[in-house]
Amino acid sequence: MSNLETFFREPIKKTDPEVSAIVKNEIKRMSEGLELIPSENVVSLAVLNALGSVFTNKYSEGYPKKRYYGGNENADAVELLAIERAKKLFGVPHANVQPYSGSPANQAVYFATCKPGDVIMGHNLPDGGHLTHGWKVNFSGSYYHSVPYHVKADGYIDLEEIKKLAMENKPKLVWCGATAYTREFPFEEIGKIADEVGAYFATDIAHISGLVAGGAHKSPVPYADIITTTTHKTLRGPRGAMIMVTEKGLKKDPELADKIDKAVFPGLQGGPHDHQTAAIAVTLGEALKPEFKEYAHQIVKNSRALAAALMKNGIKLVTNGTDNHMILIDLTPYGKGKGIFVQEALDLANITLNKNTIPADPASPFYPSGVRLGTPAITTRGLKEAEMDFVGGCIARVIKEVCTKYQLPEDKTQIKDYLKKFRSEIKNNSVIAQVKQEVIEFTKKFPLYTTLDY
């Protein structure tokens, strides 16, 4: 073996024991716990290898065959491969794989289609939408005139409101997509409304792109002009993003693909992350295999089974179920603002999810009344419907333990001290400790990254 080969294969523990120890701790945390944050997944070793490849050394400002630096023949090849795989996987005529992540991808869509002050519409953040779809503290709500739409009392997107608002405000751009919506997106219906008012229709499928690719969720391709997605959620890839333009989009605006590309570079970004592009290419190659369709459908099967297990244990869910990879628990039967208690208690029990607002949340977004969870990562590890009873039962036990004992004080000045007391007490809670031991034993049946050496 050459010295160069030795260098690139040398474990971190030989060169930086401190970082090595932290990485090992993270592998241990993931291995002994249940990762239920719906925007997280577990990538393959092939994706990890590509992400840590020599492509991290290269600078490739520009696009394939049109770079501003020399020595890019291999960077061109891997980016072109990723583009072709994206086009094939989603059935689109144009794809850009350079966005660093989802928010910059969405920013590029604004840059390509709107001018500051233009009216835009998107799913309201507290109702489960995304920051970049027009929320007031984000660039999208600061530079554009945002008219948000909402969900109905039953938790489903309010199509009548969308049509009314679109007719009244004549938006330039309409978004469909969310971070906490558990039902199938009505792409066709919103697309018709956007067409009726002459707006661009963009669908942000960051959460469900793997489900779309695997045929477990309706595709937005026939109805949308532009599609954005991250690559690290249900698609099971590295942290990156893509923007795709559909046939419908090109028919509406023949220059749309060029506008998108120019918005990404040189409009918003410099050189792409070639190691990320390589890992995206590997991810898309995996998603094109038949077994990925089985995986995508299993995510949804597990999500529905977990939702049923939670409800069987008396836990209330927004919309009373799910159509996708995600579940949103409504904790208001126990009072308002309970999400922080549940998230932190479950962390101690080796179950990871995140506090989240629910529609018409009676509490603050900083201390919301819900938690969000999903099944992509545990499905990757091999869990199936039969295991969801165990997972749901563990979550329900911890919810009932902390939500019946703790309530945030109405006086905001007392919250900090109250949470300090809560955190001290739950470290010695016997129910949480018992659930943790059960989870550790359970996860031994589903090993993770056993061959990694750090």
115-137 per-position pLDDT tens digit: 999 999 999 999 999 999 999 99
Tell whether 261 and 328 lie within a shared domain: no
166-207 per-position pLDDT tens digit: 999 999 999 999 999 999 999 999 999 999 999 999 999 999
Half-sphere exposure of 241 (CA within 13 A, CB side): 22
Query: Is 9 contained in some domain?
Result: no
Which of 59, 63, 100, 143 is catalytic? The answer is 59
The residues, any chain, with a CB within 8 Å of residue 364's CB and separated by 6 or more, are 337
pLDDT of 49 above 60? yes
Which of 35, 79, 127, 204 is catalytic? The answer is 204
Tell whether 254 and 306 lie within a shared domain: no
CATH classification of the domain holding 94: 3.40.640.10
Question: Among the three residues 287, 318, 341, which one is the final residue of a domain in this structure?
Answer: 287
Query: Is 262 contained in some domain?
Result: yes
What's the rounded mean pLDDT across residues 387-395?
A: 98
With pLDDT > 70 as the criterion, what percentage of the chain qualifies?
98
Which of 58, 172, 183, 233 is catalytic? The answer is 233
Query: Is 304 contained in some domain?
Result: yes
Instruction: Tell me, yes or no, if 204 is annotated catalytic.
Output: yes
Query: Is 41 contained in some domain?
Result: no
Question: Among the three residues 246, 267, 287, which one is the final residue of a domain in this structure?
Answer: 287
Instruction: Tell me, yes or no, if 304 is annotated catalytic.
Output: no
Give CA separation, 151 vs 74, 146, 155, 181, 393, in Å. 47, 16, 5, 9, 29
Q: Does residue 130 have a known ligand-binding role?
A: yes
Letter string b/e over residues 346-368, b meaning 16 or more CB atoms within 10 A of that residue's CB: bbbbbbbbbbbbbbebebeeebb
Q: Does residue 125 have a known ligand-binding role?
A: yes
Instruction: Tell me, yes or no, if 230 is annotated catalytic.
Output: yes
Q: Does residue 366 have a known ligand-binding role?
A: yes
Count of domains in the chain? Answer: 2
Element at 75 (helix H, strand E): helix 73-90
Q: Does residue 364 have a known ligand-binding role?
A: yes
Q: How far apart are CA 411 and CA 361, in angstroms?
A: 18
Tell whether 439 and 333 lie within a shared domain: yes
With pLDDT > 90 as the criterion, what percentage of the chain qualifies?
95
Tell whether 176 and 114 lie within a shared domain: yes
Instruction: Tell me, yes or no, if 332 is annotated catalytic.
Output: no
Element at 243 (helix H, strand E): strand 241-245
245-270 per-position pLDDT tens digit: 999 999 999 999 999 999 999 999 99
Query: Is 337 contained in some domain?
Result: yes
What's the rounded mean pLDDT across residues 42-70?
A: 96
pLDDT of 44 above 80? yes
Letter string b/e over residues 68-96, b meaning 16 or more CB atoms within 10 A of that residue's CB: eeeebeebbebbbbbbebbeebbebebbb
4-42 per-position pLDDT tens digit: 555 556 778 888 999 999 999 999 999 999 999 999 999
Least confident among 7-21, 114-128, 146-160, 210-224: 7-21
Which of 32, 40, 61, 158 is catalytic? The answer is 61
Mean pLDDT of the chain: 96
Query: Is 39 contained in some domain?
Result: no
The domain in which residue 148 lies consists of: 54-287
Q: How far apart are CA 446 and CA 380, in angstroms?
A: 10
Instruction: Tell me, yes or no, if 5 is annotated catalytic.
Output: no
Question: Among the three residues 253, 287, 321, which one is the final residue of a domain in this structure?
Answer: 287
Instruction: Tell me, yes or no, if 59 is annotated catalytic.
Output: yes
Query: Is 448 contained in some domain?
Result: no
